[in-house]
């Protein structure tokens, strides 16, 4: 089994991690192998799909060239600072080098206890692992930056949550697993040397252009802020609710990280929350940009000692960087939603026009995905499908005339607009009731529904035979009101 490893994180000082191999599991069983991803990253699919491959994906064998470790990090969880979290149930096997020279983290999640496990068992349940596999791959297909899922393996051991569940290990691939919480870990310890090494590491790996800047740390901060502004705008554009936007789940690489209680909305409501542990609605759909802004302020705060030797100047640097977020987010959000509405050109009133549609959708209990998708038909003159999304068509009719006036001001021809709208408005998203049904069957050993759903979600754009059932919102009795983080 040949992975090409070049492990850079392990070259950081020992206080950045605990060196530890994954714990072996009783009876590894292959559940999912993402051969398309393996191919894309230059991993030999046959080697992966072998007995040695399975042993590696289960954590029973450490591949040659790996340097397994658990990363140290801290984090603000629901606004409260926890000075030590860390990989409590994950092991970074090492960094693989792709044919194009990119370094990617290869991580096993659910691979046993580490120095950071606290009271946890270090394990993961099959349902939550398959959930991450499905939704992360759906996100990737939607073109949204995300960690990827390479494989799912069952352990042959139960994990005990409220009830015994089958245990599993996910192989996660990411551009990087450094989090805002990694910086907070060293900031809380006033370990300036470590902060500097971490920042230099992040710049070298993720933001090499910052190296050219006369203030590299400020340039890195700006770049991270810009990536998160775009990332969260893109989440909102597909109705995604991350659910647990703690700073330990905010990836410095700008990838979507941690698929716990996340969910996609069915009908649009800005206050929508699914996570069973989010009692205050802190991570509600429309709160996500504010939370990202707050998380990035924690990042800037942790970086203060690097931004300037003079503390007042450092605070001014941090503040001006963080203050750029709202405008950057707004611009990214406008880009996304203009495209969703089929607007190619820019007009002053666009923000209002988009808000008015969203308001109508909230009042009319309109399905987020299907409403936007039906806008493309409406752009081509067929309004019935769009109007049928609203509990009261009067809510959308006034808006439709306003939108028509706006479209008429553009020179874009209708056919081109419809094609563009179909690329901005997915036909299918992972709907909670379908995800839940697929996971329940999978936990009973039947992957048919899971595989069928995955097959649909890896192409979210194109209408084709068999796709229609997956576009249907839940019937009242199918609605999933809550999702669980499954830790």
Residues engaged in binding ligand AMP (CB under 6 A): 85-89, 116-117, 120-123, 244, 248-249, 258, 260, 485, 487
By C-beta, is 91 or 307 nearer to ligand AMP? 91
Task: Write down the least CB distance from residue 112 to ligand AMP, Å.
Answer: 9
Quick one: which segment of 105-113, 255-263, 363-371, 380-388 binds Mg ion (CB under 5 A)?
255-263
If binding means CB under 5 A, how many residues of this protein chain bind Mg ion? 2
Burial 370-399 (b: 16+ CB within 10 A, else e): bbbbbbbbbbeeebeebbebbeeeebbeeb
Q: Token pair 């069983």 is at which residue?
A: 29
Distances from the Cα of 400 to the Cα of 170, 198, 269, 360, 411, angstroms: 46, 51, 20, 11, 19
Q: Which does 133 bind (CB under 5 to 8 A by kind): ligand AMP, Mg ion, none?
A: none
By C-beta, is 86 or 305 nearer to ligand AMP? 86
Q: Which does 359 bind (CB under 5 to 8 A by kind): ligand AMP, Mg ion, none?
A: none
- Binders of Mg ion in range 394-453 (CB under 5 A): none
By C-beta, is 53 or 260 nearer to ligand AMP? 260
Q: Which does 85 bind (CB under 5 to 8 A by kind): Mg ion, ligand AMP, none?
A: ligand AMP
How would you classify the pairing of strands 124-125 and 90-97?
unpaired
Task: Write down the least CB distance from residue 257 to Mg ion, Å.
Answer: 7
Dist. CA 83–CA 182, nearest whole Å? 10
Dist. CA 358–CA 64, nearest whole Å? 53
Selected from 155, 175, 249, 389, the binder of Mg ion by CB under 5 A is: 249
Task: Write down the least CB distance from residue 129 to ligand AMP, Å.
Answer: 12
By C-beta, is 175 or 249 nearer to ligand AMP? 249
Note if 248 is an active site residue.
yes
Q: Which does 89 bind (CB under 5 to 8 A by kind): ligand AMP, Mg ion, none?
A: ligand AMP
Catalytic residue among 87, 248, 258, 278: 248
Dist. CA 134–CA 6, nearest whole Å? 28
Contact 277, 486 (CB under 8 A): no
Q: Token pair 């870990």 is at which residue?
A: 185
Long-range Cβ pairs for the range 378-384 (8 Å, 24+): 379/342, 379/407, 379/414, 379/417, 379/418, 379/421, 380/414, 380/418
Which residues, including other chains, have CB under 8 Å from residue 473's CB and lie 6 or more apart? Answer: 266, 267, 367, 370, 431
Task: Write down the least CB distance from residue 193 to ligand AMP, Å.
Answer: 24
Q: Which does 117 bind (CB under 5 to 8 A by kind): Mg ion, ligand AMP, none?
A: ligand AMP
Distances from the Cα of 243 to the Cα of 78, 146, 442, angstroms: 11, 15, 23
| Structure tokens given for 420 | 């563009």
Q: Is 258 in the site for Mg ion (CB under 5 A)?
A: yes
Q: Which does 121 bind (CB under 5 to 8 A by kind): ligand AMP, Mg ion, none?
A: ligand AMP
By C-beta, is 175 or 249 nearer to Mg ion? 249
Long-range Cβ pairs for the range 306-311 (8 Å, 24+): 306/192, 306/195, 306/196, 306/199, 306/217, 307/215, 307/217, 307/218, 307/221
Dist. CA 154–CA 195, nearest whole Å? 38
Quick one: which segment of 87-95, 172-180, 243-251, 425-433 binds Mg ion (CB under 5 A)?
243-251
By C-beta, is 59 or 260 nearer to ligand AMP? 260
Dist. CA 384–CA 389, nearest whole Å? 9
Dist. CA 287–CA 278, nearest whole Å? 12
Task: Write down the least CB distance from residue 194 to Mg ion, Å.
Answer: 21
CA angle 168, 455, 464 (to 5 degrees): 165
Q: Is 370 in the site for Mg ion (CB under 5 A)?
A: no
Task: Write down the least CB distance from residue 487 to ligand AMP, Å.
Answer: 3
Of all residues in this chain, which one has the CB nearest to Mg ion in the complex?
Answer: 258
By C-beta, is 85 or 231 nearer to ligand AMP? 85
Q: Which does 122 bind (CB under 5 to 8 A by kind): Mg ion, ligand AMP, none?
A: ligand AMP
Task: Write down the least CB distance from residue 91 to ligand AMP, Å.
Answer: 11
Task: Write down the least CB distance from residue 85 to ligand AMP, Å.
Answer: 4
By C-beta, is 162 or 212 nearer to ligand AMP? 162
Burial 410-434 (b: 16+ CB within 10 A, else e): eeeeeeebbebbbebbbbbbbbbbb
Of all residues in this chain, which one has the CB nearest to ligand AMP in the complex?
Answer: 120
By C-beta, is 44 or 121 nearer to ligand AMP? 121
Q: Which does 98 bind (CB under 5 to 8 A by kind): ligand AMP, Mg ion, none?
A: none
Task: Write down the least CB distance from residue 197 to ligand AMP, Å.
Answer: 22
* Active-site residue set: 248
**Residues binding Mg ion (CB under 5 A):** 249, 258
């Amino acid at each position: 089994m040949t992975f090409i490893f070049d492990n850079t994180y392990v070259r950081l000082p020992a206080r950045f991690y605990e060196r530890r191999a994954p714990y072996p599991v009783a009876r590894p069983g292959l559940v999912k192998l993402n051969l398309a991803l393996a191919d894309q990253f230059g991993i030999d699919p046959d080697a992966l799909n072998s007995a040695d491959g399975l042993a590696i994906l289960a954590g029973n064998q450490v591949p040659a060239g790996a340097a397994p470790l658990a990363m140290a990090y801290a984090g603000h969880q629901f606004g409260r600072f926890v000075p030590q979290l860390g990989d409590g149930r994950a092991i970074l096997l090492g960094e693989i080098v792709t044919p194009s020279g990119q370094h990617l983290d290869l991580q096993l999640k659910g691979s046993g206890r580490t120095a950071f496990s606290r009271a946890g068992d270090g394990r993961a349940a099959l349902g939550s692992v398959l959930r991450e596999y499905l939704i992360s791959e759906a996100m990737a297909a939607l073109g949204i930056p995300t960690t990827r899922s390479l494989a799912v393996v069952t352990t042959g051991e139960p994990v005990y949550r409220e009830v015994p569940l089958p245990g599993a290990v996910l192989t996660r691939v990411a551009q990087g697993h450094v989090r805002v919480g990694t910086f907070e870990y060293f900031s809380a310890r006033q370990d300036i040397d470590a902060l500097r090494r971490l920042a230099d590491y992040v710049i070298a790996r993720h933001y090499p252009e910052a190296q050219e800047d006369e203030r590299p740390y400020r340039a890195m901060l700006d770049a991270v802020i810009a990536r998160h502004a775009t990332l969260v705008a893109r989440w909102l554009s597909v109705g995604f609710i991350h659910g647990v936007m703690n700073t330990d789940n905010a990836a410095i690489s700008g990838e979507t990280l941690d698929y716990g209680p996340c969910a996609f909305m069915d009908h649009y409501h800005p206050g929508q929350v699914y996570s069973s542990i989010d009692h205050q609605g802190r991570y509600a759909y429309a709160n996500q940009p504010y939370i990202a802004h707050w998380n990035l302020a924690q990042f800037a705060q942790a970086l203060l000692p690097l931004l300037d030797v003079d503390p007042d100047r450092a605070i001014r640097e941090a503040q001006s960087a963080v203050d750029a977020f709202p405008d950057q987010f707004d611009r990214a959000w406008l880009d996304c939603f203009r495209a969703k509405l089929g607007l190619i050109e820019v007009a002053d009133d666009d923000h209002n026009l988009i808000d008015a549609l969203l308001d109508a959708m909230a009042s009319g209990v309109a399905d987020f995905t299907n409403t936007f998708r039906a806008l493309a038909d409406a752009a081509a003159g067929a309004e019935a499908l769009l109007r049928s999304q609203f509990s009261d068509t009067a809510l959308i009719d006034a808006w439709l005339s306003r939108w028509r006036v706006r479209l008429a001001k553009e020179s874009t021809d209708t056919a081109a607009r419809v094609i563009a709208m179909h690329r901005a408005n997915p036909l299918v998203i992972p709907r909670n009731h379908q995800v839940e049904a697929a996971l329940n069957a999978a936990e009973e050993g039947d992957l048919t529904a899971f595989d069928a759903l995955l097959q649909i979600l890896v192409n979210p754009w194109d209408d084709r035979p068999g796709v229609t059932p997956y576009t249907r919102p839940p019937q009242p009795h199918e609605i999933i009101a809550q999702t669980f983080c499954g830790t």
